[in-house]
Chain A
Amino acid sequence: MGYLELLGSVELFEGASEEELKMLASICRELTYPSGEVITAQGETGDELYIVQVGFVEVIRASASPGVAPRTVVNLGEGQIFGEMALVDHGPRSATIKAASDPTNVLVIHREDFERACEQNHRLGYIVMRNIAADLSFKLRHRNLTGR
């Protein structure tokens, strides 16, 4: 699958034109992690948004209660994003993300590049922000169903 085709299959960019996808491709970089390696850590500051390209990541939350072990709250596979909360609200990372497959490939977009792209093209900014909101909503629905 080509790079543009890959970005076109990611919900974050659903609705973006081919020209916009080319621009987004220019600000993405690709990273590979071995299984078990921490990609982001809960509590740290974060300036990057991640897209799972190949494999799975584990989303692990530490408990607020002392003595309670951290637990995996969801696995994210191909096409899913993480790091979006810190990107949008500038707060600390809400969870630890660990590679769960060999290899785990992710695409990374830095906040400054992301914000510049959204400011230069308001249509694209609207599309990406709407898709981030839709993704957060889907994750909440998944969490609600997990707890039923």
Chain B
Amino acid sequence: MAAIYKVSYVVSGGEHPGAILNTDHRPKKGDVVKLGRKPFQVIEVFDLIPPRGEFRYLHATVKPAESKNSS
């Protein structure tokens, strides 16, 4: 069975409390993820604790994603 990635997303700066969720792929630097209602860009990913069974435990630092409309 494919790995399941349990990710602790921490937002750099700002007041957003971050999120914990499962994904079916390992997030990587530059990815844009939606945490609740807002999009964020991944700036750092590392393994938080050793894997257990099918689960991989990751930490990702993210920042608010820049709007495509901003100049």
Seen from chain A, the residues whose Cβ lies within 8 Å of a Cβ on chain B are 8-9, 11, 14-15, 52, 56, 58-59, 71-80, 100-101, 134, 138-139, 141-142, 145-146, 148
Contacts and interface: CB of A to CB of B under 8 A. Distances in A.
Contact of B48 (A73, A74, A78, A141): A141
A76 B36 CA distance: 9
A139 B19 CA distance: 10
Interface of B: 1, 4, 6, 8, 10, 17-22, 35-37, 48-49, 52-55, 57, 59
The DSSP consensus for interface residues of chain B is strand
Contact of A9 (B8, B22, B35, B57): B22
Could you tell me the dominant secondary structure of chain A's interface residues?
Answer: mixed
A75 to B, nearest CB: 4
A10 to B, nearest CB: 8
Contacts of A146: 10, 17-18
A138 B53 contact: no
Contacts of A148: 10
